[in-house]
């Protein structure tokens, strides 16, 4: 008898499909009504940091250069008050085989798939991760399918996503493209079930553990260059894996006093799953449309328990504007001779403004860069935006209205610091936990879990729970 492939039936089998496609039974980590054993889940990768480094070296991943951006530091100091202007460094992850830090995520997942006898790997992504998985699959001799959310209902695709299609296919992957909408996860599940491929999700413990080498390398390379740890590491924040993996790697290197700063492009007002808004945004990742929802509800991902949990590690969260990122992308090319894609330069934009409030003897590391190409370069993205009715202007980036205009700074002094209230994000996370689990009382284990999840304390969690009339058993 053939299986019922209706939407309801497939979604009803999702845990069974995921268990077979990842090889992890997520239920064994559950404890209370809310809590689960996160560290135990991370240990389920079965690979130590040293083993992951060896896995990545086999396919030329990692050990990327740490570069001091001396000219951008000079510019920041020119704009900063006297005595201010931290030195800015950048980890050049574009040196990885597929041109981004996502190669670290993919290397661990693809290795594990090969080791456990899977014939292929499957991932759903419109970004750099698809190219990373395709590249690693080709090195390991596995088949690869990349599922992309690519078009709006007019069948018009974003140039950045189409560039990723080209890259994936160049590495030998089969690319399946969908229009924006809720069918992506359903189609993903059906393909996993039909092919028996490994789910190379962005959000498994394998993927997050792969990024830990990046944080570890930052600490070790910086100590070799400067004899100390950096004061701050700025990380482009989207689904949370970048922040989580890098922070965990820094901690494993003993860099416990480094401030972890997340940065996202402000796309407030645009809905990521809206057909109307899909082609009105100029960033497919690293923006608030992912950064805030995934921080406040990480388990919205394509696995039962998301290993990317940014709130456990974030100390500060900065918001930058679209035009500022395009401006800094050009500045990096012109002043430092490094042409890199805008997504990675989200963190660079935040770091440039942040450096101006720090002392000259302090240091910042921008945690990653990404390759650029025909569709990822600022010019085709700005041209595409204009074709979709977005005004491109020079002026004050604070006048930027996502979906209506992109304001390029008239002067580098127009690039500003904008803090997003992390306490508000933490409170939203707790409220989501209570609402989604439909509870009016929690255990002590749940309470302790919420403290760890929000990097807060008992008073903060207790106050939020009191507002929600939730009791502790």
- Name every residue whose Cβ is closer than 8 Å to that of residue 138 and which is 6 or more positions away in sequence: 144, 171, 172
Phi/psi at 400 (5° precision): -60, 130
pLDDT greater than 60 at residue 377:
yes
Does pLDDT of 391 surpass 70? yes
- Residue-wise pLDDT for 21-78, tens only, equals 999 988 889 876 799 999 999 998 889 999 999 999 999 999 999 999 999 999 999 9
Please report where in the chains the tokens 């390398």 appear, as a residue: 217
Q: Please name the fold of domain 58-98+206-414.
A: Rossmann fold (3.40.50)
Q: What is d(CA 103, CA 263) in angstroms, rounded to the nearest whole number?
A: 21
Topology alike, domains 7-54+100-203 and 58-98+206-414: yes
Percent of the chain with pLDDT over 70: 100
Range 430-451 average pLDDT: 94
d(CA 260, CA 246): 9
pLDDT score for 106? 97
Give the integer Cα–Cα distance in Å for 56 and 132: 12
Is CATH 3.40.50.1100 the classification given to domain 7-54+100-203? yes
- Measure CA 33 to chain center: 28
- Residue 312, pLDDT above cutoff 70: yes
Strand spans (E) along 39-167: 66-68, 87-91, 120-124, 143-151
Enumerate the domain spans of the chain.
Answer: 7-54+100-203, 58-98+206-414, 423-472
Position 304 scores a pLDDT of: 87
> What angle, rounded to 10 degrees, do the helices at 422-437 and 288-296 form?
60
């Amino acid at each position: 008898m053939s299986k019922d492939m209706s939407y309801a039936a497939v979604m009803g089998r999702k845990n069974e499909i995921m268990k077979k496609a990842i090889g992890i039974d997520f239920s064994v980590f559950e404890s209370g009504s809310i809590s689960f054993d996160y560290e135990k889940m991370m240990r389920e990768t079965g690979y130590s940091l040293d083993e992951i480094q060896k896995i990545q070296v086999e396919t030329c991943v990692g050990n990327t250069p740490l570069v001091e951006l001396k000219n951008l530091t000079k510019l920041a100091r020119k704009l900063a008050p006297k005595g201010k202007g931290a030195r800015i460094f950048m980890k050049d992850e574009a040196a990885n085989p597929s041109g981004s830090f996502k190669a670290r995520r993919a290397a661990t997942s693809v290795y594990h798939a090969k080791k456990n006898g899977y014939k292929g790997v499957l991932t759903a992504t419109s970004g750099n991760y698809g190219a990373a998985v395709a590249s690693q699959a080709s090195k390991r001799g596995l088949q690869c399918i990349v599922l992309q959310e690519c078009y709006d209902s007019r069948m018009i695709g974003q140039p950045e996503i189409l560039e990723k299609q080209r890259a994936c296919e160049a590495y030998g992957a089969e690319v399946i493209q969908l229009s924006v909408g809720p069918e992506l996860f359903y189609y993903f599940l059906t393909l996993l079930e039909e092919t028996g491929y490994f789910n190379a999700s962005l959000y498994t413990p394998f993927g997050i553990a792969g990024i830990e080498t990046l944080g570890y390398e930052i600490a070790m390379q910086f100590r070799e260059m400067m004899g100390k740890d950096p004061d701050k590491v700025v990380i482009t924040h989207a689904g949370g894996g970048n922040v989580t993996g890098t922070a965990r790697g820094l901690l494993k290197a003993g860099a416990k006093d480094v401030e972890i700063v997340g940065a996202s492009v402000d796309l407030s007002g645009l809905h990521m799953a809206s057909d109307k808004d899909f082609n009105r945004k100029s960033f497919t990742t690293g923006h608030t449309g992912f950064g805030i929802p995934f921080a406040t509800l990480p388990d919205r991902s394509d696995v039962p328990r998301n290993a990317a949990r940014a709130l456990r590690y974030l100390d500060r969260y900065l918001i930058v504007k679209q035009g500022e990122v395009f401006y800094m992308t050009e500045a990096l090319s012109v002043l430092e001779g490094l042409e890199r894609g805008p997504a990675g330069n989200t963190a660079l934009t935040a770091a440039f403004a942040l450096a101006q409030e720090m002392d000259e003897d302090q240091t910042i590391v921008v945690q990653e860069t990404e390759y650029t190409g025909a569709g990822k370069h600022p010019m085709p993205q700005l041209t595409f935006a204009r074709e979709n009715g977005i005004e491109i202007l020079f002026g004050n980036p604070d006048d930027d209205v996502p979906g209506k205009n992109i304001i390029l700074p008239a002067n580098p002094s127009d690039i500003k610091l904008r803090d997003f209230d992390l306490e508000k994000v933490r409170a939203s996370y707790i409220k989501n936990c209570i609402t989604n689990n439909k509870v009016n009382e929690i255990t002590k284990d749940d309470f302790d879990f919420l403290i760890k999840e929000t990097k807060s304390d008992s008073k903060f969690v207790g106050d939020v729970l009191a507002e929600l009339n939730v009791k502790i058993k």
